[in-house]
Chains A and B, each alone.
Chain A
Amino acid sequence: MSVEVSCPGCGAPIAFKTGSSIVVVCAFCNSVVARGDRKLEDLGKIADLVETGSPLDIGLHGAYQGVPFELTGRAQLGHQAGGVWDEWYAAFQNGAWGWLAEAQGRFYLTFEQSLPEQTLIPPFDALQPGSAVAALPTSVPLTVAETGVATQLGAKGEIPYKLIPGEEYEYADLSGSHGMFATFDYSETPTRVFVGREVSLGDIGLANAMAPEREARRVAGRQLNCTQCGGPLELRAPDQSLRVTCPNCGALLDVSQGRLEFMQALQPPKTPPIIPIGSVGEFEGVKLMVIGFVVRSVEFDGVRYYWEEFLLYNPQVGFRWLVRSDDNWNYVQSVPPGDVFHKSGAFGGKGDTVQFQGESFKIYQDTMARCEYVIGEFYWKVTVGEQVRAIDYVRPPRMLSLEISMVQLGVEQATDSATSKKSKKVRSAPTGEINWSLGTFLKHAEVEKAFGIKGIPRTSKIAPNQLFPHKKIYKIWGLLLLVTFVLGMIFLATGSRTKVFDQTYALQPVANSEGTQVIFSEPFQLKGRQNIRITANSNVDNSWLYIEGDLIEESTGDVQSFSMPVEYYHGVDDGESWSEGSQTPATHISAMPAGQYTLRLEAQWEKWQQPASVSVRIDQGVPRVLHVFLTLLFISIIPFFVMIAHFSFEKRRWSDSDYSPFGS
């Protein structure tokens, strides 16, 4: 039921249209008017809203999960880092209020939760961005994504709480998987808790909502003139951009207020971006335009290392990044903090890991990254010289990067104790905001294909998340070892091992040491397709007996020769006994055609003056374990060299890391 009253500030009529609203902002004098039990209270004047190009407006009707609502009010809150965000207040038909936060083109709809008294919400100072908060009875664990101080800057319409102009309060945003979102509002005691999720405008029945000025900016792009040089410049993402550089004079301009405002004159880059601003590339089936280019750097041992980041934009999917570092490329997109799990929230340190989509990522680097140069337009308030703490975690071919926003506290002189060299060191502290992004390694050919270009520089340097190209070979190797083993077992189990001949011969003394005795056996049958094992046995003792044999096929005259020394020596040397040779050697020959065979033996022996004896046995279908081992060996040669190459690859991958598992 609407209640009309007069503004205590200017006397103009104002109306509390929603029964449960607490304050109304006078449309005439911007007084924030609260209704108490008995009288109206003027909470002071609040500033006009800054134009942010929001698609929403007071009076719009939507619905969430089937319950209709109306947007009745809007507050604009200042971020400690300098930006603003909007909060819209949705009065639902069932009497509930929804808080619809809008920041960087994203929307989060939350509802205040009444928690049991014993619920322990962590105090503001105890919150660590990235750490999990277990206090809330939500379906998924929530992680602190940002902590900060908000300032009430502007407001309009009807608002469901006592908004005091200029008031500052501490807050924390929490994020969970599947878009889960929550806010702790420390402006009151006990802490107010809002829980909900990230929504699209379609989710809340406002898909067609589009403030006229935003629509015009989005569709037409925007032609502007630089405030420094007067030259023309174009905004390619006019409804999202907060900063733009002039392509003519290089000035960095603020565009957040809907008009250009000079901020900083930038030095031109040493080399222009390898992919020019305005180029369009296709990734994952989506065409993305390069709208910004950033050069960033880190310092190690006094040496500064640079890399390049290309900001890509498509109105349907938002922003992506293409990162070029040491001529290696990554395709990068942001990840909700709640999707990344860290055991403590105290990021960094040797052996640190994070979990993402069921996979563990190892820490690779933890550095302070500095923005060196920018061209184009950006959706955040970029400044040259700004620093973030950047921690990279890798699991090739992916890399999770955590950026912890830092605020500069001052500059101090530092002296290197070893060299006595003085340098300036920037002191900074976390702002309480973290951002996660997921990079996927790209081959050079993929980048070239995406942009339809050729000849981007190659490198032999291994990227932190570059996949070892021959890793698949291990799986194949394992499979082939198994196949060989099983095959070997089958042949070993099914070998016939048939004895086809066994005879002992007495040898008479011969005339001299060169003399031999020739013996022909009785004919015997050999089967085809079965190998032949010939075993000799002679009771030689520190002596030898030598056999030259022939298997003669009776009908064709085919002859397969073989030779077999039977020698066995033993003794004691320096108190240690030794032996070599065997009294029962064996030799294998290939299968012969099936048929009747005679064995010819020609024997010669060391003690030719004395008689000797020799036994000969022939078996067929004898499984060969040696062949199984040889096969296993041959199929392992290439994987062995691949393993060596892999080890070298991993060493090179980690050579630039402070957290190398191979040591420094």
Chain B
Amino acid sequence: MLTKFYLVLSLLIIGGYAFVAFTGKEFGDPERQRVPADVRQSPGGYRSFHFWHSGYRGGK
């Protein structure tokens, strides 16, 4: 029983690896956003948009 379960689970894991490698998927990406259409159509386009960053992260 455990052996079958392990076999199925492992094949899923390996299949998952193959899928990730084949599709170029990475883990831990920040959520994908979209610049609103009205901003893109406005003068300056997305260059005038305030993006979703929270600022300073570095330092020691």
A-side interface residues toward B, CB under 8 Å? 469-470, 472-473, 476-477, 480, 483-484, 487-488, 491, 514, 516, 520, 529-532, 544-546, 548, 550, 552, 556-563, 565-567, 569, 588-591, 598, 600, 602, 604, 606, 620-621, 623-624, 627-628, 630-631, 634-635, 638-639, 642
How far apart are the CA atoms of A552 and B33 in the complex, in Å?
9
**When A552-B35, A559-B33 are in contact, do A604 and B55 touch as well, CB less than 8 Å?**
yes
The answer to whether B56 touches A561 (Cβ under 8 A) is: no
* List of B residues within 8 angstroms of A566 by Cβ: 58
The answer to whether A531 touches B24 (Cβ under 8 A) is: yes
The answer to whether A476 touches B3 (Cβ under 8 A) is: yes
Most central of B6, B10, B32, B35 by chain A CB within 10 Å = B10
The answer to whether B47 touches A520 (Cβ under 8 A) is: yes
The answer to whether A550 touches B51 (Cβ under 8 A) is: yes
- Interface code B44-60, partner A: CB below 8 Å = 1, 0 otherwise? 00110001110111111
Most central of A556, A557, A602 by chain B CB within 10 Å = A557
The answer to whether A545 touches B34 (Cβ under 8 A) is: no
* List of A residues within 8 angstroms of B7 by Cβ: 476
**When A520-B47, A569-B60, A627-B21 are in contact, do A531 and B26 touch as well, CB less than 8 Å?**
yes
**When A546-B57, A561-B33 are in contact, do A642 and B17 touch as well, CB less than 8 Å?**
no
The answer to whether A604 touches B58 (Cβ under 8 A) is: yes
From B23, B32, B47, B57, contact of A559 by CB (8 A): B32
Interface size range of chain B in the complex: 35 or more
From B14, B24, B40, B52, contact of A561 by CB (8 A): B52
> Across chains A and B, which 3 residue pairs bring their CB atoms closest together, nearest first?
A591-B24, A531-B24, A557-B35
Report 30 cross-chain contacts, Cβ distance below 8 Å, ordered by A residue. Answer: A469-B2, A470-B2, A476-B7, A477-B6, A480-B11, A483-B14, A491-B22, A529-B24, A531-B26, A544-B58, A546-B56, A548-B55, A552-B46, A556-B34, A557-B46, A558-B32, A559-B34, A561-B53, A569-B60, A589-B26, A590-B25, A590-B29, A591-B24, A602-B51, A624-B26, A630-B17, A635-B10, A635-B13, A639-B6, A642-B2
- Known pairs A470-B2, A546-B57; list 17 more (Cβ under 8 Å): A473-B2, A480-B14, A484-B17, A516-B55, A530-B24, A558-B34, A560-B30, A560-B32, A567-B58, A591-B25, A602-B53, A606-B58, A630-B17, A631-B14, A635-B14, A638-B6, A642-B2
* List of B residues within 8 angstroms of A516 by Cβ: 55
Query: Which secondary structure characterizes the binding site on chain A?
Result: mixed
The answer to whether B26 touches A514 (Cβ under 8 A) is: no
From A558, A588, A606, A623, contact of B21 by CB (8 A): A623
**When A470-B3, A472-B3, A635-B14 are in contact, do A591 and B58 touch as well, CB less than 8 Å?**
no
* List of B residues within 8 angstroms of A628 by Cβ: 17
Closest chain B residue to A555, Cβ basis: B40
How far apart are the CA atoms of A504 and B51 in the complex, in Å?
22
B-side interface residues toward A, CB under 8 Å? 2-3, 6-7, 9-11, 13-14, 16-18, 20-26, 29-30, 32-37, 39-40, 46-47, 51-53, 55-60
* List of B residues within 8 angstroms of A561 by Cβ: 30, 33, 51-53
The answer to whether A563 touches B2 (Cβ under 8 A) is: no
Most central of A545, A552, A560, A628 by chain B CB within 10 Å = A552
The answer to whether B13 touches A544 (Cβ under 8 A) is: no
* List of B residues within 8 angstroms of A520 by Cβ: 47
The answer to whether B35 touches A589 (Cβ under 8 A) is: no
The answer to whether A567 touches B60 (Cβ under 8 A) is: yes
How far apart are the CA atoms of A546 and B7 in the complex, in Å?
45
How far apart are the CA atoms of A477 and B11 in the complex, in Å?
11
The answer to whether B26 touches A487 (Cβ under 8 A) is: no
From A556, A620, A634, contact of B13 by CB (8 A): A634
* List of B residues within 8 angstroms of A604 by Cβ: 55-56, 58
* List of A residues within 8 angstroms of B47 by Cβ: 520
How far apart are the CA atoms of A540 and B35 in the complex, in Å?
33
Q: Distance (Å) between the CB of A545 and the closest chain B CB?
A: 7
How far apart are the CA atoms of A78 and B46 in the complex, in Å?
111
Q: Distance (Å) between the CB of B19 and the closest chain A CB?
A: 11
Q: Distance (Å) between the CB of A628 and the closest chain B CB?
A: 7
* List of B residues within 8 angstroms of A591 by Cβ: 23-25
